[in-house]
Structure 1
Amino acid sequence: MGFLDSNYLFENDSARYLYNSIKDLPIVDAHNHADLKEILNNENWHDIWELEAASDHYVWELMRKRGVPEEKITGKASNKEKWMALAKIFPEIAGNPTYEWIHLDLKRVLGIEENISENTAEKIWAKSKRILAEPEFKPQKLLQQMNVEIMCTTDNVFSLLKEHQQIRKQLERPLILPTWRTDTVMNLEEPEWLESVEQLGENYEEDISNLKGFMRALQKSHDHFEKLGCVAGDHGFFEPISYPVEFNQAEEIYVSALSGVSLSKDEIKDFKAFLLMEIGKMNQKSDWVTQFHIGTVRGYREYLNQNETQGDGGDISTYKLEIAKNIKYFLNHFDSQLDIVLYSMEPTHWFTLSTISRAFPNVYLGAAWWFSDSPHGMEKQLQQISTVDLYYNFAGMVTDSRKISSYSSRTEMFRRSLANVIGRALERGQIPRITAFNLVGWVSYYGPKELFFEKISKI
């Protein structure tokens, strides 16, 4: 088997046959971090660094691990200097999925077969410069070539979505929809909370000096997102918190927070529990999917927080958090009434999440996320799903990508991993052949499209 050849990730012939049945299916991506301005401007990328690494903290972290100075990662060094630094250490990151993703991008998107190293860096730089300068090599065209059918950006709750209004007039395919992200107005213990709340009030023309005004602004935001085709809320937190909290109690906490009063841990939890339930009610009324991204410990490496130019890369995961107890009230309140997708970046939580998903017909497991979206992580999670829950109730792959070039490579890695897992089961006599072919098609495309985008014909 050659590097990234046609048998990449396959252990048997059944896996290859299954993959061939799904490899050309369109991509539907319910969660990514696309730069909509980049897509809207639709200009050529200037070089390989801009395409592959300028916005990718996965790359930055690995460069730091191999001793590359920050100047050549997020600093003021030229893009070529940064690319040469990355290429020099690239063979040293083999085994990490980033090594495969970027090589897949080069081979599948740019048609460059050279493996990245110090010896090939100059050649790849020059060759990619020529390719990226071609008139047809622009964001919108690339998305179409990758067969991206529908994609959802991640948008802050206070956004007015001006780019979305423009892109809908300019581009028919892929259909690009916003996703309602509420983290910044929920996490009132964070420094940016007050600024985010004020921005929400200003953008949606509501007096947010009391909780009623804040909730009116939040509802206006929700309505605006819905008008522009939003089909999902996206809510990230370290630990989800849900239990009944009275409006008057939440209002006292909210006003105190606006006034700069120091809040207790219990007060912070009470406000979050109140707001999460209200968000759930809004999503239910609009028939949106509600996505929970659980377990991220933000800013763990404090050095990276001291200088904004150094960006992301200091977040971690931990097994030490409570999930089952904390979302019990939310899940039971919305039992069979609201589609809920649970993502966890920590593999030790998958068993708990899969048993929760099994207990509720409206709860789905999200794709192996962040540190787990590798062939190893994907296969491990897929096997866990089949052990406890059902593939047909899996929410499917999301790219979570910050760069357009990786939409197809991340999707390919998932579909190959899926084909390998199901192919193994087929070879072991666990699944009939026709059932296996139907299953991989459902998980790759038809299931996620039905879950997230069933309303699309109404938009």
Structure 2
Amino acid sequence: MKAFMDKDFLLQTDVAKELYHNHAAKMPIFDYHCHINPKEIAEDKQFKNITEIWLYGDHYKWRGMRTNGVDERYITGDASDWEKFEKWAETVPNTLRNPLYHWTHLELKRFFGVEKLLSPETAKEIWDECNAKLQKPEYSCRGIIKMANVHTICTTDDPVDSLEYHRAIKADGFETKVLPAWRPDKAMAVENTKAYNEYINKLEEAANMNISSLEDLMAALDNRHQFFHDNGCRLSDHGLESIIAEDYSAGEIEQIFAKIRGGADLDKTEIMKFQSAMLYEFGILDHSRGWTQQFHIGALRNNNTRLFNKLGPDTGFDSIGDFEIARPLSKLLNRLDLEDRLSKTILYNLNPRDNELIATMIGNFQDGSVPGKMQFGSGWWFLDQKDGMEKQMNSLSALGLLSRFIGMLTDSRSFLSYTRHEYFRRTLCNLIGNDVENGEIPYDMNLLGNMVENISFNNAKEYFKF
């Protein structure tokens, strides 16, 4: 019987242990997609307690607490931070076989040196120990980033954002690169005309120009795209149920935008045509400045209307969707490729049934210009756990080149989530180690060690060239 979460956690073979300890563990972290707040890095925030850094905004944990019968007051409500931590400690023993159990204890162990299991019996002791450490200067935001050996962070930012905190971080000379990533979802969210016009008003202010026509809209977005580029951005991202790729004419899109600015609601066909046009135009913008584009596909969001109305988005009421993926995705990528305007692209799917679909889709548009130009993104959201990551890597291995994979990202709002890179690297090394054990790949540590180091860090660094 192995000890829980010892130094060889998740590593089942001697080869896996050698790969992880001698190759993967030492590599820096290239976190090219996350949702942490650049303001907190700029201000080098010192967190008051473990609840603030650990439970605020973490809808993974919130879902687990609700499932365990915890009242919302102790999750997103007005209970004290201690009370919320206490309820989480009551929940953790019930998360056995859920990745939350692993993540929780990895974070406690790696950042705070806590070896005990979190439970109602240990809650106060762990609360006091973690809170005492969080008051030390080395546990500020920047201190934690350094502790985790993070080379680069890409945040997620709206085209109207000022990027003032990214500039402040750079001006301070912080060793870790903290770069913006362009997330223009609101610029195509025309389902609600009133809300969209309010957003366009913000875009007018950010771009310092009036937007009364489609031409104005595209000029304003190009203005902001250049602004992001000037501030180090080389990466876009789209969060979509599925790619939208309806046929349309330029005249139709002009008329639809005029209708929007006139305050009229759109029908479903008009919405689809407009969003199709915007996705294409965003692809053109990204290619024009040599950016990489990301597509996060497949989330069915805000399923619980009652609690969405009460708590808002990103609070734990999203799930895996079952949308049509292949045909519209192929249509968009093909249109850009036909015009030689297809950027480097990363595709993330949320439904594991689509793993082979995505793995074969990227192969359609590899063109030899860049190693791994088209990427099958790492297991995302509900799939960023051991089983999901293994399935993603197995599909990529069978249908593409795992050796060119750019590896893991946190996709998190917490500064303690960098242990997900360790979790991923251990899973990767174990997969390879099992293949060696089974005689399926050679025991060549130079070959395998380089592959692991590349997937852990080098491939991403070379791919993005930040």
Smaller-chain TM-score range? Answer: over 0.9
Distance 2:173 2:37 in 1: 15
Which residue of the other structure, out of 433, 436, 455, is the alignment partner of 1:443?
455
Q: Relative to structure 1, is the Cα distance of residues 46 and 306 closer, same or farther in structure 2, using a 3 angstrom cutoff? A: same
Find the counterpart in structure 1 of residue 384 from structure 2.
Answer: 373
Q: Cα gap change, 1:229/1:429 in structure 2, threshold over 3 Å: closer, same or farther?
A: same
Does the 8 A contact of 2:137 with 2:143 survive in 1?
Answer: no
Contact 1:165–1:228 (8 Å) recurs in 2: yes
Amino acid at match of 2:381: W
Moved more, 197-206 or 27-36: 197-206
What is the CA-CA distance between 1:257 and the residue it aligns to?
A: 2.0
Alignment-derived partner of residue 293 in structure 1: 296
**C-alpha separation between the residues in 1 aligned to 2:314 and 2:155?**
20
Matches for 1:157-168 after TM superposition, within 5 Å: 157-168=159-170
Structure 1 segment 23-422 matched on structure 2, within 5 A? 23-190=25-192, 192-308=195-311, 312-319=315-322, 321-335=323-337, 337-361=342-366, 362-407=373-418, 409-422=419-432
Secondary structure of the residue aligned to 1:236 is strand
Query: Aligned letter for 1:32?
Result: C
Q: Indicate conservation of the 8 Å contact 1:74/1:309, yes or no.
A: no
Q: The residue matched to 2:138 in structure 1 has which SS?
A: coil
- 1:428: how far off? 1.8
Question: CA distance change for structure 1 residues 102 and 340 in 2, over 3 Å: closer, same or farther?
Answer: same
> Tell me, what secondary structure is at the counterpart of 2:139?
coil
C-alpha displacement of 1:37: 1.2
Q: Deviations over 1:238-265 (max 9, x none)?
A: 1111255332211111121232322121
**Does the 8 Å contact 2:17/2:429 carry over to 1?**
yes
Question: Contact conserved, 2:57 with 2:315, CA < 8 A, in 1?
Answer: no
Look up the match of 1:19.
20
Q: Which moved more, 1:134-143 or 1:333-342?
A: 333-342
Segments of 5+ residues of structure 2 without an aligned counterpart are: 367-372
Q: Give the conservation status (yes or no) of the 8 Å contact 1:52–1:102.
A: no
Go from structure 1 to structure 2 and tell me whether the alpha carbon gap of 1:338 and 1:311 turns closer, same or farther (over 3 Å shift): closer
Secondary structure in structure 2 of the residue aligned to 1:271: helix
* Cα distance, 1:311–1:437 mapped onto 2, change above 3 Å: closer
Q: In 1, distance between residues paired with 2:261 and 2:76?
A: 35
Q: Does the CA-based 8 Å contact 1:114-1:120 persist in structure 2?
A: yes
* Secondary structure of the structure 1 residue equivalent to 2:142: helix
Q: For the Cα contact (< 8 Å) 2:74–2:84, is it kept in 1?
A: yes
5+ residue gaps in structure 1? none
Which residue identity lines up with residue 147 of structure 2 in the other structure? Q
Aligned match of 1:9: 10
The CA deviation string for residues 135-161 of structure 1, in whole angstroms up to 9 with x for no partner, is 221111111121100110000121121
| Amino acid corresponding to residue 57 of structure 2 in structure 1 | S
Aligned residues: 452
8 Å CA contact retained: 2:302, 2:313: no
1:410-435 deviations in Å (ceiling 9; x for gaps): 10000000001111112222222232
Query: Residue 434 of structure 2: which of 419, 424, 436 is its match?
Result: 424
**CA distance 1:283–1:310, shift in 2 (3 Å):** closer
Letter in 1 for 2:456: S
Let me know the Cα RMSD of the aligned residues. 1.5
Identity %: 35
Of 48-57 and 430-439, deviating more is 430-439
Q: More deviation in 335-344 or 42-51? A: 335-344
Post-superposition CA distance 1:141-182 (Å, at most 9, x none): 111121100110000121121111111111432100000001
> How far is the alpha carbon of 1:108 from its aligned partner?
0.5
Length-normalised TM-score, structure 2: 0.94
2-structure distance, mates of 1:175, 1:126: 32
Alpha-carbon distance, 1:309 to partner: 6.7
Aligned partner of residue 307 in structure 1, secondary structure: helix
The more displaced of 24-33 and 186-195 is 186-195
2:369 is aligned to none
Q: Does structure 1 retain, via aligned residues, the 8 Å contact 2:190–2:271?
A: yes
AA matched with 2:409: V
Give SS of 2:160's match. Answer: coil
Q: Detail structure 1 runs of 4+ shifted over 6 Å in the superposition.
A: none
Cα distance between partner residues in 2 of 1:192 and 1:84: 39
Q: State how far apart, in whole Å, the 2-side matches of 1:177 and 1:32 are.
A: 11
| Structure-2 change in CA distance of 1:265 and 1:310 (3 Å) | closer
Q: Deviation of residue 345 (structure 1)?
A: 1.2
Q: For residues 406 and 381 of structure 1, what CA distance do their matches in structure 2 show?
A: 20
Q: Which residue type is aligned with residue 203 of structure 1?
A: A
Cα deviation per residue 1:386-427 (whole Å; 9 max; x = unaligned)? 1111113323211101111111x1100000000011111122
Q: Secondary structure at the match of 1:149?
A: strand
Residues in 2 aligned to 1:58 and 1:163: alpha-carbon distance in whole angstroms: 27
Farther-moved stretch of structure 1 (294-303 vs 115-124): 294-303
The one-letter code of the counterpart of 1:221 is R
Letter in 2 for 1:343: Y
CA contact (8 A) 1:74 1:310 kept: no
Q: Is the 8 A contact 1:365 1:393 kept in 2?
A: no
